[in-house]
Amino acid sequence: MKKENFALKFIAGDAAISSTDVKAAKENNDCVVRAFMNAAKVSYDTAHVFVAETFNRKAGKGTFATAEILNKLCLAKTPMLGKKVISLGRFGNRPMTPVQALEEKVLLNTEYPKGGGTFASFTVGKFLAQNPKGSFFIVVAKHALAIRDGKIFDNANYRDNLFIQKGRDQRRCLAVFQLK
């Protein structure tokens, strides 16, 4: 069932940072830290330590190979930040059938057929519209964000004109992980 007129709710990714989160004060390039903080509902400092140890992130530097490392941890069933993390899939570069998607571990948006029994992958907005409950860590091009209970937790500068004017987030979900 398609969700029509779904209004995207945006929360600034740093809104959960408290005055006791001392590591946040001098940080930048920390979208993975903020995404984990918001998806797992932990403090910034806790997420910062987790990302540094798990992804070998250096202070002030970006986090690399996030989806690949998370996929390995999911296969090993390694709990993260006190949560079970499940890989829901990655972005498919071409329309494909559900059978092809299963074989290639691609997350398909089956509510939007492309024709001939094929479907496309998700954008952030379409994923949120179809998954209004739960906590998710999402990798998009050179960035990460969180979705939790119907809200996008992201840096304010990622609200482009399309989002501001029409409430649509068209960024491709390169990888999606659910935190339970």
Q: Round to whole Å and give the CA distance between 29 and 60.
A: 6
Q: Round to whole Å and give the CA distance between 22 and 125.
A: 32
Which pTM does this prediction carry? Answer: 0.87
Domain positions in the chain are 9-179
pLDDT on residue 102: 84
pLDDT tens digits, one per residue of 48-80: 999 999 999 998 899 999 999 999 999 999 999
Q: Which of helix, strand or coil describes residue 136?
A: strand
Of 90, 89, 88, 108, the closest CA to residue 98 belongs to: 108
- 119 and 108 Cβ atoms separated by less than 8 Å: yes
Q: Round to whole Å and give the CA distance between 11 and 21.
A: 18
Amino acid at the residue 108: L
pLDDT on residue 113: 81
